[in-house]
Amino acid sequence: MDIDSDTLASLAGISSLDEDLMERLRSITTSNREDLIAQFRATTNAMLTDEGCRFFLEMSNWNLNEAILAYYDAEMPTDKLPQMRFIADVTVGEGEAIPPSTRFVKTWRIENSGSERWPNSCSLRFVNGDRLQDRDEIYVSALSPGEQTNISVNIASPNASRIIRSQWRLFTPAGVPFGGNYILKLLFISRLYP
- Summarised one tens digit per residue, pLDDT across range 19-32 is 555 555 555 566 78
What is the dotted CATH code of the domain comprising 84-190? 2.60.40.10
* pLDDT at residue 87, rounded to an integer: 94
pTM comes to: 0.59
Q: How many whole angstroms from its chain centre is CA 169?
A: 6
Residues of the chain with pLDDT under 50: 1-17
Between the alpha carbon of residue 57 and those of residues 20, 29, 71, 72, 104, the distances in Å are: 21, 15, 9, 13, 42
Where do the structural domains in the chain lie, given as residue ranges? 5-75, 84-190
pLDDT tens for each residue of 50-85:
888 888 889 888 888 888 888 877 766 555 789 999
* pLDDT at residue 5, rounded to an integer: 45
* pLDDT at residue 71, rounded to an integer: 81
